[in-house]
Amino acid sequence: MIFIDACNRKQTPYTPIWMMRQAGRYLSEYREVRLKAGSFLDLCKNTELASKVTLQPIDILDCDAAILFSDILVVPLEMGMKLNFVKNEGPKFETCIRSEKDFSILQNNIGSKLSYVYDTISVIRSKLSKQKALIGFCGAPWTLATYMVEGEGSKTYANCKKMLYTNPKLLHNILQSVSNELKSYLESQIKAGVDSVMLFDSWAGALEPSSYFEFGFNYIIDISKYIKSKFPNIPIIVFPKGVGGYLHKFVDIKAYFDVFGVDWETSMAYAKEVLGDKYVLQGNLEPMRLYNENSMINGIDEIVSIMGKKEGHIFNLGHGMLPDLPRENAIKLVQLVKEKTKR
Ligand code: CP3
């Protein structure tokens, strides 16, 4: 598998590519299945349909890895927080965790309640070509905690950050309890057949560096250490979005992951200089460049000229693709990256 070879810094015939949110609303095939499934969560829980939409971008775009179709929020959902996806507003929990009493309602050892995810993984793996990797994932504890404390998406993360400074013990308790669930969740995903796992810390950039290490990245290290000790051959990808201002702080840590996801706000040249020897880098085309072919080509050329046609790089966007993206442009991106990085 080209993608797994690249994670292990082995030579590949070209730089492998996949895209965050590659299965989604910009594909009419996805919208059709989504309609059939009912709600977004119904789709996540429907093994047959979730495996179908996971495979769509492989057939349509020919990317080198499929990412499991699910959502990071199924973990707090199964810990007992009722969840709805409200059209045009995003996810909303019916309750939120703001006190010790709220925290006490969260359930532990929820692994078996997520069996629909593991079933989907085995179906996908049985249908996916052996050349293509399947990526499993979870949200990182900090990003999940922002949703659990706020009850929904947020611009300021005010409640969660207030908790961090006024009741850090409670926040650590939440983070620890989520981390425990994530360890066995990822473990079960690997046993079900994923070839690699990725931890999404989408809201890492909400914190100052010292707080991020204490409340965010330390939990990622702890989870990856656990997974590496049990599955040394499964590459781990981390994506702490918004930490480009202090990449040097990620050099001198004992890391248990293989690939560092670079967001679009960070210059790839800077990421390569600081982190390129230590981690394989994944990223980081600004997703908005896909709306104009020239902008897209210039963006690809810049990244390829920095990362070179050699090992140490996995091509991706610097964050997820948007629902109104013309699919032809996504198809073109995959073609161009393969052509332009051919060894
Ligand atoms: O293709 C893939 O990348 C795999 C599937 C995937 C989804 N969500 C599907 C999805 C993955 C890996 C995620 C992760 C996720 N979910 C993150 C971390 C990555 C990131 O984008 O930062 C976060 C923060 C979430 C939480 C979440 N889920 C939000 C904020 C939303 C609403 C977004 C929106 O644009 O409406 C979702 C819903 C969601 N997750 C959709 C998809 C395809 C859209 C739902 C729909 O079809 O109506």
- What confidence tens digit (pLDDT) does each residue in 131-170 have? 999 999 999 999 999 999 999 999 999 999 999 999 999 9
**Ligand 1 mean position, distance from CA 71 (Å):** 6
pLDDT at position 99: 98
pLDDT at position 304: 98
Residues 113, 74 contacting (CB under 8 angstroms): no
pLDDT at position 3: 98
Q: Whose C-alpha lies nearest to ligand 1, atom 24? A: 202
> Which atom of ligand 1 is least distant from the CA of 67?
4
Q: Model's pTM, two decimal places?
A: 0.97
Residue 88 has pLDDT above 90, yes or no: no
**Selection from 172, 201, 183 nearest residue 319 by Cα:** 201
Average pLDDT over residues 310-316: 96
**Ligand 1 mean position, distance from CA 21 (Å):** 7
User: For residues 221 and 225, what is the distance between their CA atoms, to the nearest angstrom?
Assistant: 6
Provide the residue ranges of all domains of the chain, joining segments of one domain with +.
2-340
Average pLDDT over residues 25-38: 96
**Ligand 1 mean position, distance from CA 70 (Å):** 8
**Ligand 1 mean position, distance from CA 44 (Å):** 11
Q: Whose C-alpha lies nearest to ligand 1, atom 46? A: 40
> Which atom of ligand 1 is least distant from the CA of 73?
26
| Helix 115-127 with 47-61: angle, nearest 10 deg | 40
Task: Return the active site residues.
Answer: 21, 25, 34, 71, 147
pLDDT in tens, 8-22: 999 999 999 999 999
pLDDT in tens, 206-265: 999 999 999 999 999 999 999 999 999 999 999 999 999 999 999 999 889 999 999 999
- Residue with structure tokens 């929904």? 152
Residue 87 has pLDDT above 90, yes or no: no
pLDDT at position 261: 98
pLDDT at position 77: 98
Pick the CATH number of 2-340 from 3.20.20.210, 3.30.460.80, 3.40.50.410, 3.40.50.920: 3.20.20.210
pLDDT in tens, 276-296: 999 999 999 999 999 999 999
Residue 194 has pLDDT above 90, yes or no: yes
> Phi/psi zone of residue 90: left (φ > 0), alpha (ψ -120 to 50 degrees), beta?
left
Q: Whose C-alpha lies nearest to ligand 1, atom 1? A: 21
Q: Whose C-alpha lies nearest to ligand 1, atom 25? A: 72
> Which atom of ligand 1 is least distant from the CA of 143?
24
Average pLDDT over residues 312-334: 96
Mean pLDDT for the chain overall: 97
